Amino acid sequence: MQEGCETAMMDEPPQDQMPPLGPQAKVALLLQARTYPEAPSRIELVETHMSWVFLAGCYAYKLKKPVRHDFLDFSTLVARHRNCLEEVRLNRRLAWDVYLDIVSLAVDFAGHVRLEGAGEVIDWLVKMRRLPADRMLDFQIRQHTVKSDDIQRLALRLCAFYRQAPAAAISSEDYRRQFAEDIRLNWRKLRDPLHELPEPLLAAIHQGQLNLLSWEPALFDRRVAERRIVEAHGDLRPEHICLEAEPVIFDCLEFNRRFRTLDVVDELGFLGMECERLDAAFIDRSILDTYRRECQDNPPQRLLAFYKSYRACLRARLAIWHIHELDRAEWPKWQRLARQYLHLAERYSRLFDGLG
């Protein structure tokens, strides 16, 4: 991402040229400067599984796709409005000055479509302050420009957040049961023959995870008893961290509370796993050292390894799922990424003897 605040005015097209206002028509309109109150000179589009993000001048606008899955529902205008409100509320916990508001996309009596305009609301978007691309943690890792002081500030910011987070109301039995269900789901999805992933490796990793749950339940029950399960961020990855003077952690998982209700060190392990994948394991060590000191919590290494192994399998599953949406020529990229995650999961699994 690059910052910029230039503006440019454009002529209005004839009203009879307005396209039908389906999802792709809305995207097309949001790629035109006249749709925005500030009329930016350049608009960039970033597409994810569940949204389109428009980088426009000083701001970023997120439009949710009208989709429905077992774990989320964005299929109606009312549902998208509700989820936009929830996204702003939750993200202000760790990015208070980034999530500005939700704004309407509206069509007026003349058929003109505007953001923050008058008329009939046809969709809702989250409006955010645009963050500097060169301060993103994933960018800095790849550029080898990460500074230890920035990582220390990030760790302290996260520790302060976790210290004030109330414990989730969950039983130890439910906590372990959810893991068992999710591990079996990962295994079932990954073993699809279309994915061409090594079945013996999948079996060894996932059976090892299930074995630890079954053989050493006290590892997990203790975390519940110590009130370490909280409503956290839920998607703590380097690309969701901006190392400004006060670190910003954004794009939390807003659409399903269960997915962001997790052990604090599960979340930190997730970030650590992603940093290790990018050859920046020192970030994981630094953050965990600070967490142990600041939060007076020293979880067993075998539990941390379990969390990382589980998260790596989940990321492998999300990566390989792209092949169901893309032409076959694009499959190898996602197959390689899924295998990369699985090799990480295997290495972590060996640390808790899951493959012993």
Per-residue pLDDT averaged across 298-310, rounded? 97
Read off the tokens for 335: 């197959």
Q: What is the pLDDT of residues 52-80, one digit of tens each?
A: 999 999 999 999 999 988 888 999 999 99
What letters, b where the CB count within 10 A reaches 16 and e where it falls short, cover 224-246? beeebbbbbbbbbbbebbbbeee
Residues 164, 184: Cα–Cα separation, whole Å: 33
Per-residue pLDDT averaged across 260-284, rounded? 97
Whether residue 11 has pLDDT greater than 50: no
What whole-number percentage of the chain has pLDDT above 90?
A: 88
Q: What is the pLDDT of residues 114-143, one digit of tens each?
A: 999 899 999 999 999 999 999 999 999 999
Per-residue pLDDT averaged across 229-240, rounded? 98
Whether residue 197 has pLDDT greater than 90: yes
Residue 195 contacts residue 244 (beta carbons within 8 Å): no
Q: What is the pLDDT of residues 137-184, one digit of tens each?
A: 999 999 999 999 999 999 999 999 999 999 999 999 999 999 999 999
Per-residue pLDDT averaged across 199-213, rounded? 97
pTM of the entire predicted model: 0.90
Res 94: pLDDT? 98
Res 4: pLDDT? 45
Residue 115 contacts residue 253 (beta carbons within 8 Å): no
Residues 294, 176: Cα–Cα separation, whole Å: 27
Phi (first) and psi of residue 154, to 5 degrees: -60, -45
Per-residue pLDDT averaged across 20-40, rounded? 92
Res 71: pLDDT? 85
What average pLDDT does the structure give for the chain?
92
Read off the tokens for 48: 């994810």
Please state which architecture CATH assigns to domain 137-351: Alpha-Beta Complex (3.90)
Res 20: pLDDT? 53
